[in-house]
């Protein structure tokens, strides 16, 4: 059965490293600078089915107003994360919720609220602070290379993520004509010591930083990449967070009132290149969500 792909679909696949060639086609390579705009991305080709997580059905095509911090999607109170502190104990959770970028970055760099700080060389809040972005990517706790660089998704993983973002006309680097800002962060701001798994209480401690990042960035959509990113961003639906990745894909969840889509990590896509087509479908759905919000 022949594979029928239009120009938009082939361009986005090429940006993600999936090489497609069909006899008799005239296709402009992605490095020529030809990429689909967001409007045509919504209208062209077959799009993934939009599912909305339980209790989060949008009203009249809208995803609704942001959910205030400390409430769940029904408006009732939820447990808040434990208080944070700097080395001098000066900052608590309420103060983090009102910090600007500079104060937030300094506080994260000095934070000693949990055991993760023992493995930290650099905080994941020091690299990209200071701008709003329609796209936000949240990854797992940093590994050794990310900790050394002071930013998430480095090396080949970072290159693949950059290509994925470019496919939706976004960038986490310097803005260029035709590209929107993307903010990339880690679910925890410190590397776990000796590369161990982060504990739920440690992730809860870091949640206040992530919540403040979201409030400052004001994204239209969040891409959740990784087991622990899913655990935190899908905390209102723990039964879904425990599902295999393919059971979570295609559903629009919410965190802090912002639509959240689950997709593959760049590392997983490098291990299994065949899954890049599924990741591309997730990006198409993300474009639909962003465009629905206007």
What CA–CA distance (Å, rounded) separates 31 from 188? 34
Token reading at 42: 């919504």
Per-residue pLDDT of the chain (294 residues), as tens digits, is 444 556 666 666 666 666 544 433 332 323 333 334 444 434 433 333 445 554 343 333 333 333 333 333 233 333 333 333 334 333 455 699 999 999 999 999 889 888 888 889 888 886 566 789 999 999 999 999 999 998 999 999 999 999 999 999 999 988 889 999 999 999 999 888 888 989 999 999 899 999 999 999 999 999 999 999 999 999 999 889 889 999 999 999 999 999 999 999 999 999 999 999 999 999 999 999 999 997
What CA–CA distance (Å, rounded) separates 116 from 79? 21
Name the region of 135 (left: φ>0; alpha: ψ -120 to 50; beta: rest).
beta
User: Residue written as tokens 């705009």?
Assistant: 37
Q: Return the pLDDT at 251.
A: 96
Q: Which structural domains are found in the chain, ordered by start?
A: 7-292 (3.40.470.10)
Q: Return the pLDDT at 58.
A: 36
Token reading at 167: 């496919």
Q: Return the pLDDT at 84.
A: 38
What CA–CA distance (Å, rounded) separates 165 from 283? 9
Q: Return the pLDDT at 17.
A: 65
Q: Return the pLDDT at 118.
A: 83
Q: Return the pLDDT at 49.
A: 41
Token reading at 203: 């992730």
Q: Is the pTM of this model over 0.85?
A: no
**What DSSP letter does each residue of 6-27 carry, written as one string?**
-HHHHHHHHHTT-----TT---
User: Residue written as tokens 């447990």?
Assistant: 79
């Amino acid at each position: 059965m022949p594979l029928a792909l239009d120009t938009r679909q082939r361009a986005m696949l090429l940006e993600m490293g999936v090489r497609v060639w069909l006899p008799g086609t005239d296709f402009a390579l992605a490095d020529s600078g030809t990429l689909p705009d967001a409007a045509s991305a919504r209208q062209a080709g077959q799009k993934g089915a939009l599912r909305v997580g339980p209790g989060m059905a949008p009203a009249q095509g809208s995803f609704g107003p942001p959910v205030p911090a400390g409430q769940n999607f029904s408006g009732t109170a939820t447990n808040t994360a434990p208080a944070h502190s700097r080395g001098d104990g000066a900052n608590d959770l309420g103060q983090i919720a009102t910090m600007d970028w500079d104060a937030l970055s300094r506080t994260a760099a000095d934070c000693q609220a949990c055991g993760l700080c023992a493995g930290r060389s650099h905080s994941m809040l020091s690299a990209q602070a200071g701008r709003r972005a329609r796209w936000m990517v949240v990854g797992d706790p940093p590994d050794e290379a990310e900790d050394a660089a002071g930013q998430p998704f480095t090396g080949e993983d970072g290159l693949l993520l950059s290509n994925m973002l470019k496919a939706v006309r976004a960038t986490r680097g310097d803005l260029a004509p035709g590209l929107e800002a993307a903010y990339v962060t880690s679910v925890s701001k410190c590397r776990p010591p000796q590369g161990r798994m982060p504990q739920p209480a440690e992730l809860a401690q870091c949640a206040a930083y992530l919540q403040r990042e979201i409030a400052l960035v004001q994204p239209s959509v969040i891409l959740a990449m990784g087991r622990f990113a899913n655990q935190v961003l899908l905390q209102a639906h723990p039964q879904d967070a425990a599902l295999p990745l393919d059971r979570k894909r295609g559903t629009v969840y919410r965190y802090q009132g912002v639509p959240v889509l689950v997709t593959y990590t760049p590392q997983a896509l490098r291990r299994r290149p065949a899954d890049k087509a599924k990741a591309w479908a997730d990006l198409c759905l993300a474009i639909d969500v962003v465009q629905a919000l206007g």
